Amino acid sequence: MKVSEILQVKGNILYTVTPDQPLLDAANTMAEKDIGSLVVMEFGDLVGMLTFREVLNALHENAGQIGGGTVRKHMDDHPITVTPDTEVNEVRRIMLEKHARYLPVMNAKTLLGVISFYDVARAVLEAQSFENQMLKAYIRDWPAETPD
């Protein structure tokens, strides 16, 4: 299974912010939309990711207050990306090794979407469920052995 297949099932809703937006606005968007990440875009290019991890770090740095900083100050400005052709097992490895819960999907310089740890887990579970159904159907229809 490839990343492109996960994106097809997930849909194409993508939430973005600019680096100069206040962090408070970005955090409010994340809370209102019930999402864990925002893609940071500037002049049509991906320049970073803002996840709940960065928001929590900002709260920690500011003694429980979000502070008056911008997204640029807190974003991950070198997010790990994948392509539509990346295999799901590779995505799982990257997410586990790099502790990345959200990965932008890029086709050259074009942002196609973001996949989350949840999206990958759901896709793998659905693929395994389908395989289990096929195996059970095969076993149920197992031909009777003929005596020699």
Return the CATH number at 18: 3.10.580.10
Q: Range of 86's domain?
A: 3-140
φ, ψ of residue 122 in degrees (nearest 5): -65, -45
Q: How confident is the model at residue 148 (pLDDT cuts 50, 70, 90)?
A: low
Total count of residues recorded for the chain? 148
Give the Cα separation of 48 and 17 in Å (integer): 10
Sequence-separated (6 or more) residues with CB below 8 Å from residue 135: none
- Whether 38 has a pLDDT exceeding 90, the answer reads yes
Whole-model pTM: value is 0.79
Sequence-separated (6 or more) residues with CB below 8 Å from residue 110: none
What's the domain count of the chain?
1
* Cβ proximity of 67 and 23 under 8 Å: yes
